[in-house]
Structure 1
Amino acid sequence: MMPKVLSLILFLFVATGPVKGNQVILSADLWCPYTCEPSADDKGILVDAIDSILQQSGHQLDYQLVNWARAIKMTRSGKYDGIVGAYISDAPDFVFHTEPIQISKMCFFVKKDDPWKYFGKDTLKDRKISVVNAYSYGEYFDDYIVKNHNQGDKSIVQISGMDITKTRVEQLKSNQIDTVLEDWRVFPYNVATYKKNSDSQWEAEFKSVGCLPGEGLFIALSPNRDTSKDYAEIINRGLKQLADSGKLNEIVSRYE
């Protein structure tokens, strides 16, 4: 006769079937080509990468687009599993995987006919620099933002919202700012998209005139979810497989 305990285990296995993968809720703001529209075929370099990793481990991605400051707040509280495209300095209390998915370089963009160039903090005098509220630009520059935001002639101008490129282009157009600090991929990509979809006749061109040190881009996982350490290990294994197989390079190439 089969023992009762073994009989019960077999009954539960048959009744419930294999354990299904979790739905992993990750949030980000619109930061194409890293994090793009959830409804698009190409959702962004980082989103496509983490989606592939999660699928390989039997999980499903629920990717949501929200304001960055809100994304951090809601993930910290445990509503979301993580945020996509974070520097470690964005949320140092979060749980991080070991290696970054990509390296971000924040660069200074100006109008093409602007002779100014960036050679360190001493060259920032009299510039009006656009940065995004709640973004980290790395420890090197975050301290400068704190010290100079809303000081004097507002050398640091913080903006927020979902259509940041449009706001910045209009601010440059009206001379409210003269410098944009943004990732080396993000600003050119979004300006090209803005021009393509805009009725504006403004045809100004931009150039990069210097960059800050590179920073790793991560999936930052909630400090208030028990699954975060497990997801970090899944990303560690999956990212190595993605890189070794060449699939990560394939994903990146779709956005170039």
Structure 2
Amino acid sequence: MFKYLLILLSLIGIHAHATPIRIASDIWCPYICENEKGYVVELTKRAFEIQGQTVVFVTIPYKRALIELQRDNIDAVLALTPSAITNNQLIDADIIIGYNSNDFYTLIGEDESFETIADLNQTLQAAVVSGYNYGVELDAWLNAHPNTYFASGNDPLAMNIIRLVKGRHSVIVDNKNVIEYTASQLNLSQQLRYAGTIGQPVPLHVGFSQLNHANAKMFANGIEMLKANGEYQEIINKYKILPSVSTNKARHKHLQKFLPVINK
């Protein structure tokens, strides 16, 4: 918590001396990655930079980001669903920057499949990331079952994958692209199995506070400019192929201590 406080104080200090757009999110690669990478991060930054507006981006947990947005310590949070926009009384610039789906993964060798909420009734424990919206029906099921595990922290999905491999959960739920990307960073892709999707994909937006109508409009204008000059598609194309192994040694070292013996 002290680390997050220092980050936020630095953002406030920067805002006092200049006027950068202050944006935060948790890691959700390939949408939002470390070192200001990820296609949503790059699109958002370039949408402002192409108009001469600087951007400061920091990584903090999702729920904390929403709280700081409400407090006006930051200006925007990336990759929010329409329900998150509405529930937190935000604005979204009417720009879709991607889609999210509720995809289910088990260990290789399991035979469970998930196409409806009822399919979850036979599972021992589902693991999700705390603070996220999974749709009305799935949220209701998850909250009604005390065995549901809600992960939090800086790398909640990575920890859910590791816990799945260790046998702590029977299924994890998240976006397919994000699960496969994170599993590849952990060298655990071969141990996971796609087991289905429940519901339809939902659009993702950049959420701005009510004090940021002008910035939301600037973001929308910037996206149109990037589409017109070809940069938009160039950035999207960069993230079509997921890397098989992480090059971020610090993150890998941090996660390595949690990996089971079978991966060493």
TM-score (norm 1): 0.80
Larger Rg computed on CA atoms = 1
Q: 1:82 aligns with which of 58, 76, 83?
A: 76
Instruction: Confirm or deny that 1:119 pairs with 2:119.
Output: no
Q: 2:95 aligns with which of 88, 92, 99?
A: 99
Amino acid at match of 1:72: L
**What number of residue pairs does the alignment pair up?**
221
Structure 2: how far apart are the matches of 1:250 and 1:81? 26
Instruction: For residue 229 of structure 1, report the CA deviation from its aligned partner.
Output: 0.8
**Between structures 1 and 2, the one with greater helix share:** 2
Q: CA RMSD in A?
A: 2.1
Residue aligning to 1:233: 217
Residue aligning to 1:248: 232
> What SS does the aligned partner of 1:185 have?
helix
Do the aligned partners of 2:117 and 2:137 also contact (CA within 8 Å) in 1? no
Amino acid at match of 2:214: D
Instruction: Confirm or deny that 1:209 pairs with 2:196.
Output: yes
Do the aligned partners of 1:107 and 1:212 also contact (CA within 8 Å) in 2? no
Residue aligning to 1:8: none
Amino acid at match of 1:123: D
Residue aligning to 2:262: none
Matches within 5 A, 1:163-182: 163-182=155-174
Instruction: Confirm or deny that 1:64 pairs with 2:71.
Output: no
Do the aligned partners of 1:89 and 1:139 also contact (CA within 8 Å) in 2? no
Matches within 5 A, 1:118-137: 118-127=114-123, 128-137=125-134
Superposed CA deviations along residues 73-110 of structure 1, whole A, max 9, x for unmatched, are 11111110010111121241111111211112221111
Instruction: For residue 210 of structure 1, report the CA deviation from its aligned partner.
Output: 2.2
Q: Tell me the percent identity.
A: 18
TM-score (norm 2): 0.77
Structure 2: how far apart are the matches of 1:243 and 1:122? 42
Q: CA 1:142/1:60 → structure 2, altered by over 3 Å: closer, same or farther?
A: same
Amino acid at match of 1:52: R
Instruction: Confirm or deny that 1:48 pairs with 2:42.
Output: yes
Do the aligned partners of 1:110 and 1:209 also contact (CA within 8 Å) in 2? no
Residue aligning to 1:30: 27
Q: Where does structure 1 lack aligned partners over 5 or more consecutive residues?
A: 1-19, 197-201
Q: CA 1:61/1:116 → structure 2, altered by over 3 Å: closer, same or farther?
A: same
Superposed CA deviations along residues 214-249 of structure 1, whole A, max 9, x for unmatched, are 1111110123x3xx1111111222222323443222
Q: Which one is further off, 94-103 or 62-71? A: 94-103
Residue aligning to 1:17: none
Amino acid at match of 1:214: P
Structure 1: how far apart are the matches of 2:229 and 2:73? 33
Structure 1: how far apart are the matches of 2:18 and 2:99? 29
Q: 2:143 aligns with which of 134, 142, 146?
A: 146
> What SS does the aligned partner of 1:35 have?
coil
Residue aligning to 1:7: none
Residue aligning to 1:14: none
Amino acid at match of 1:172: L
Structure 2: how far apart are the matches of 1:98 and 1:218? 8
Structure 1: how far apart are the matches of 2:198 and 2:180? 14
